[in-house]
């Protein structure tokens, strides 16, 4: 796009105008254009004729707010919860669920299309779930203060102001109530909220995690300090107020950071873990451990990935970014031997416990960075013929990719929560002689723009 001077932008802040929405951004915002200059507007869909108010202009794009809609897209459905648009939890809620699934498939397709080598991959329809079924098993809720009272909610998109929210819509039953109960207890006990700007105050986040199958609840209080004044009474009240509670944890995070959890946990009451199940096996989950936030869809995701891998008794498998071993143990049931690597040591402790708990042999877990441990394994003569990867949003480390190429496994099963980094990494594997026919998006986060995608790459 040609560079413009700000003074020559085709629209100005606070201007009102009428336009037709042409496209959707990757975040699910409607895109309208004036002289080719894109304007992003939440809660609008392609084809809709709308009146908007310009909120903010930048050199190459602007944000607008919907004032009035003159026509409705056939893909539109009534809003479920206005807050979800402002906080970013339900940015796609105005789209029918079918349209959401098609949007996600299209997002993956467009992302892959930026890499010429990947254009042959057929992106399959998104694997969805029952529309509007609450799914989140984990809530990390910031705590603030208003008129001297504690408030809980979500940050307004692009800001650090908390919008008070009591009905989060997407969380498993009882979780919203647990958040409110804990907040009210802390409020009654006079615990001050953490103030991010001043790096002062105490309670930063209330985290609630719940086992979809077990109903077990873990509550984590994240504080900017080491002591909770009135601790005994707070503990007693929380244990009485939260049904299903099995673990109450104090997490100390005194750093000036937006990373939610600090390094130190103290168990205030109960167990150092809670439990959930995946495909019939039970997992212990500790405060620092990753666990897919949508238990039911995680089962489908893993099943699809395992089907793609088509493992047999002779296979030796590497499972990188393995967390608490949820994929690893399912691989172990089919393959000869599986090696799991994960950077969070506590998650590896859990993974070992989980293997024992479910009576599974033939697994070997190592705590460390995948991009380092893989070279130790190569040194030790370990030669996996199948590699699973499930990295965080930033994707695979370049060193890790080089090591896998050196190992030359027959198959690489790549699970990703970010198609952009997945496409970048897959392009490198393609250059090294791998190919893939299909990609399977899975909807792990209904109502949000996030998309998970699994691809099986084969060496040719
Ligand atoms: N496969 C697991 C976890 C996936 S999430 C599951 O499905 O539950 C990604 C995991 O990668 C997280 O547990 C995170 O702690 C871990 N991780 C992040 N960077 C890593 C690295 N460099 N090496 C190994 N693991 C890493």
Distance CA 76, CA 72 (A): 7
pLDDT digits (tens, 9 = 90+) for 283-296: 999 999 999 999 99
DSSP state of 234: H
Q: Tell which one of 391, 398, 416 to mutate to probe ligand 1, the residue whose CB is within 8 A of the most ligand atoms.
A: 391
Q: What does pLDDT average to over the chain? A: 96
Which residue's C-alpha comes closest to atom 1 of ligand 1? 322
User: Which pLDDT does position 156 carry in this prediction?
Assistant: 85
pLDDT digits (tens, 9 = 90+) for 144-201: 999 999 999 998 877 888 999 999 999 999 999 999 999 999 999 999 999 988 999 9
Residue of 197, 214, 212, 114 lying closest to 161 (CA atoms): 197
Q: Is the distance from the beta carbon of residue 108 to the nearest atom of ligand 1 less than 6 Å?
A: no
User: Which pLDDT does position 7 carry in this prediction?
Assistant: 63
Mean pLDDT of 401-427: 98
Enclosing H/E stretch for 85: helix 82-87
Flag whether pLDDT at 447 surpasses 70. yes
| Catalytic positions | 417
User: Which pLDDT does position 4 carry in this prediction?
Assistant: 53
Quote the ligand 1 centre to 228 CA distance (angstroms): 31
DSSP state of 280: T
CA angle 328, 329, 333 (to 5 degrees): 115
Say what the alpha-carbon torsion angle 44, 49, 54, 56 is, to the nearest 10 degrees. Answer: 40
Flag whether pLDDT at 346 surpasses 70. yes
User: Which pLDDT does position 169 carry in this prediction?
Assistant: 92
User: Which pLDDT does position 246 carry in this prediction?
Assistant: 98
Quote the ligand 1 centre to 323 CA distance (angstroms): 5
Residue of 452, 454, 434, 435 lying closest to 443 (CA atoms): 452
Token pair for 145: 């203060």
Mean pLDDT of 208-224: 98
pLDDT digits (tens, 9 = 90+) for 319-334: 999 999 999 999 999 9
pLDDT digits (tens, 9 = 90+) for 98-147: 999 999 999 999 999 999 999 999 999 999 998 889 999 999 999 999 99
DSSP state of 79: -
User: Which pLDDT does position 88 carry in this prediction?
Assistant: 81
Q: Is the distance from the beta carbon of residue 279 to the nearest atom of ligand 1 less than 6 Å?
A: no
Q: Is the distance from the beta carbon of residue 292 to the nearest atom of ligand 1 less than 6 Å?
A: yes
Where residue 85 falls among pLDDT bands split at 50, 70, 90?
Answer: confident
Q: Is the distance from the beta carbon of residue 223 to the nearest atom of ligand 1 less than 6 Å?
A: no
List of long-range contacts for 235-239, beta carbons under 8 Å, 24+ apart: 235/268, 235/269, 237/185, 237/189, 238/181, 238/182, 238/185, 238/269, 239/269, 239/270
User: Which pLDDT does position 193 carry in this prediction?
Assistant: 97
User: Which pLDDT does position 224 carry in this prediction?
Assistant: 98
Quote the ligand 1 centre to 200 CA distance (angstroms): 32
Flag whether pLDDT at 430 surpasses 80. yes
Flag whether pLDDT at 84 surpasses 90. no
pLDDT digits (tens, 9 = 90+) for 221-230: 999 999 999 9
Residue of 278, 277, 282, 299 lying closest to 129 (CA atoms): 299
Flag whether pLDDT at 6 surpasses 80. no
Quote the ligand 1 centre to 241 CA distance (angstroms): 33
Mean pLDDT of 344-363: 97
Which residue's C-alpha comes closest to atom 6 of ligand 1? 323
User: Which pLDDT does position 8 carry in this prediction?
Assistant: 84
CA angle 204, 209, 210 (to 5 degrees): 155
Three-state secondary-structure class, residue 100 = helix
Residue of 367, 366, 365, 411 lying closest to 387 (CA atoms): 411
Q: Tell which one of 343, 354, 421 to mutate to probe ligand 1, the residue whose CB is within 8 A of the most ligand atoms.
A: 343
Distance CA 423, CA 116 (A): 10
pLDDT digits (tens, 9 = 90+) for 28-78: 999 999 999 999 999 999 999 999 999 999 999 999 999 999 999 999 999
Quote the ligand 1 centre to 417 CA distance (angstroms): 11
Sheet of 16-20: strand order equals 16-20, 49-57, 62-69, 37-41, 30-34, 23-24
């Amino acid at each position: 796009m040609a560079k413009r001077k700000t003074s020559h932008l085709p629209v100005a802040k606070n201007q009102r105008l009428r336009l037709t929405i042409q496209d959707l951004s990757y975040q699910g915002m409607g895109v309208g254009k004036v002289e080719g200059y894109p304007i992003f507007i939440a809660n609008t869909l392609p084809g809709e004729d709308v009146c908007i108010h310009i909120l903010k202009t930048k050199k190459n794009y602007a944000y607008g707010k919907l004032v009035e809609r003159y026509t409705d897209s056939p893909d539109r459905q009534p809003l479920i919860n206005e807050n979800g648009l402002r906080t970013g939890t339900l940015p796609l809620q105005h789209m029918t669920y079918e349209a959401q699934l098609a949007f996600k498939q299209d997002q993956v397709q467009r992302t892959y299309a930026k890499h010429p080598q990947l254009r042959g991959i057929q992106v399959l329809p998104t694997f969805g779930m029952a529309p509007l079924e609450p799914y989140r098993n984990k809530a990390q809720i910031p705590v603030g203060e208003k008129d001297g009272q504690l408030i809980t909610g979500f940050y307004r998109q692009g800001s650090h102001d908390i919008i008070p929210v009591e009905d989060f819509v997407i969380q498993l039953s009882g979780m919203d109530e647990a958040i409110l109960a804990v907040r009210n207890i802390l409020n009654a006990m006079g615990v001050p909220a953490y103030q991010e700007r001043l790096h002062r105050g105490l309670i930063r986040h209330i985290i609630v995690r719940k086992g979809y199958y077990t109903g077990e609840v873990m509550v984590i209080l994240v504080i900017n300090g080491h002591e909770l004044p009135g601790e005994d009474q707070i503990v007693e009240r929380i244990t009485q107020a939260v049904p299903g509670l099995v673990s109450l944890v104090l997490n100390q995070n005194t750093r000036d950071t937006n990373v939610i959890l600090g390094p130190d946990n103290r168990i205030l009451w109960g167990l150092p873990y809670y439990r959930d199940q995946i495909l019939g096996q039970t997992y212990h989950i500790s405060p620092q451990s990753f666990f897919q936030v949508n238990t039911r869809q995680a089962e489908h995701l893993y099943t699809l990935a395992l089907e793609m891998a088509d493992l047999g008794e002779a296979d030796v498998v590497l499972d990188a970014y393995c967390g608490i071993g949820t994929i690893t143990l399912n691989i172990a049931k089919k393959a000869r031997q599986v090696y799991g690597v994960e950077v969070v040591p506590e998650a590896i402790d859990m993974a070992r416990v989980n293997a024992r708990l479910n009576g599974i042999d033939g697994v070997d877990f190592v705590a460390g960075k995948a991009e380092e441990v893989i070279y130790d394994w190569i040194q030790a003569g370990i030669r996996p013929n199948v590699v699973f990867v499930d990295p965080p949003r930033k994707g695979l480390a370049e060193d890790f990719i080089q090591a896998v190429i050196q190992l030359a496994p027959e198959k690489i099963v790549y699970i990703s929560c970010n198609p952009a980094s997945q496409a970048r990494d897959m392009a490198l594997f393609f250059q090294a002689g791998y190919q893939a026919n299909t990609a399977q998006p899975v909807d792990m986060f209904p109502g949000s723009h996030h998309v998970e995608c699994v691809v099986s790459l084969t060496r040719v």
